[in-house]
Chain A
Amino acid sequence: MKEDKIFHPRANKYLRTEMLPTAFCPGCGCGTVLNGFLQALDELKLDPKELVFVTGIGCSSWIPSPYFKGDTLHTTHGRPIAFATGVKVMKPDMKVIVIAGDGDIAGIGGNHLIHAARRNIDISVFMVNNWNYGMTGGQVSPTTPFGVRTGTTPYGSAEHQLEAAEVVAAAGANYVARWTTYHVFPMVKAMQEALRVKGFSFVEIIAQCPVSYGKMVKMRRGSDFLKLYKEKSVKVEKARQMSDEELEGKIVVGKLKERKRTEFVSTLRQINERFRQELAN
């Protein structure tokens, strides 16, 4: 598509518009995350030249790549946080942003996630949680709700859902939030807060996959999921007053954690500096 046909000013500023329309299925939440993320960048007036996007494998990994004009590393499944760690250590002045799926970030890449949060390295991770492996046709993922039918759990999943945002908060990240693609305005605000924080920031975005996931649960329209998110969401402040039983099947949304622990790369630099001075003396 020609540039002049795209009237969206944010798309012209941040995207390779010749790649549009997106490769996502109709009604896919990945597109809404892309849309909100553009809005967040634009309001923060971030220059694409200051950004490095790192992504893994999956539909959600197609949000930054190939659409964004910034430098992009499309890496292997589960490893974007590991690559992002390397980028940030060597290029501390760049904003390093990971966008990838639940299978990628919380499944195969789960240990990278926990330890990057524990190190509190200054990268922002946006995990697009569509409760399944969307790209490969709808297999169970660590975030699939209990009892749900997927391609690999045809009689319902026997496993409980991993609450990735809570895990990341416990592991030591400086900023953690969860929203859904129904909550676009707070989602944009959380993205901005995450981008501004020094230290590890994590935003989990519950997003619909009406095709791979939807076909097994008979929810084939994007709106079916958005209605569910609206109905099942509970603000974190209210959720803190509720029991585990009451929270079963609910989606806890809001800012889950904010703290000011020291950041990994700056600590590394200080140690290096101290070592250099000791050597000189």
Chain B
Amino acid sequence: MITINEELCKGCEICTDFCPKKVLASSNTINKKGYYLPAATHKDKCTGCRLCELMCPELAILISKE
């Protein structure tokens, strides 16, 4: 499961740029601080590699077992 913490995210797009399977994409949803949030648009393709979880500078992504 991919959980994105909307309050911590700063919309830097590192996760969307580097997910090897293009699971994550930028969305039009804005959080309280005005940052564009990523969305898991292709969840089925996620391999659970955790690259996004570890690259995120804001600890805003968590990959967990369903």
Please, which residues of chain B bring their CB within 8 A of the CB of A26? 10-12, 35, 57
Q: A8-B62, A222-B14 are in contact. Are A32 and B57 (CB under 8 A)?
A: yes
Min Cβ gap A16→B in Å is: 13
Q: Is the beta-carbon distance between B54 and A20 smaller than 8 angstroms?
A: no
- What residue of chain A has the Cβ atom nearest to residue B3's Cβ? A7
Please, which residues of chain B bring their CB within 8 A of the CB of A24? 57
9 CB < 8 A contacts A-B: A1-B8, A26-B57, A27-B12, A29-B57, A31-B59, A32-B14, A35-B57, A184-B51, A188-B54
Min Cβ gap A253→B in Å is: 16
B7, B53, B56, B59: most-surrounded residue (chain A CB, <10 A): B59
Min Cβ gap B8→A in Å is: 5
B residues with a Cβ closer than 8 A to A are: 3, 5, 7-8, 10-14, 17-18, 35, 51, 53-59, 62
Please, which residues of chain A bring their CB within 8 A of the CB of B13? 27, 221-223
Scan A76-95; emit 1 where CB is below 8 A from any B CB, else 0: 00000000000000000000
Q: Is the beta-carbon distance between B10 and A21 smaller than 8 angstroms?
A: yes
Min Cβ gap B35→A in Å is: 7
Q: Is the beta-carbon distance between B54 and A7 smaller than 8 angstroms?
A: no
Q: A1-B7, A7-B3 are in contact. Are A184 and B12 (CB under 8 A)?
A: no
Interface size class of A (residues with CB under 8 A): 20 to 34
Scan A1-34; emit 1 where CB is below 8 A from any B CB, else 0: 1000111111100000000111011111111101
Q: Is the beta-carbon distance between B8 and A20 smaller than 8 angstroms?
A: yes
A59 to B29, CA, bound (A): 29
Q: Is the beta-carbon distance between B3 and A185 smaller than 8 angstroms?
A: no
Please, which residues of chain B bring their CB within 8 A of the CB of A22? 57-58
A145 interfacial contact with B, CB 8 Å? no
A39 interfacial contact with B, CB 8 Å? yes
A143 interfacial contact with B, CB 8 Å? no
A222 to B3, CA, bound (A): 21
Selected contact of B12 from candidates A5, A6, A222, CB within 8 Å? A222
Please, which residues of chain A bring their CB within 8 A of the CB of B54? 32, 35-36, 39, 184-185, 188
Please, which residues of chain B bring their CB within 8 A of the CB of A226? 14, 17-18, 55
Q: Is the beta-carbon distance between B57 and A11 smaller than 8 angstroms?
A: no
A212 interfacial contact with B, CB 8 Å? no
Please, which residues of chain A bring their CB within 8 A of the CB of B56? 31-32, 35
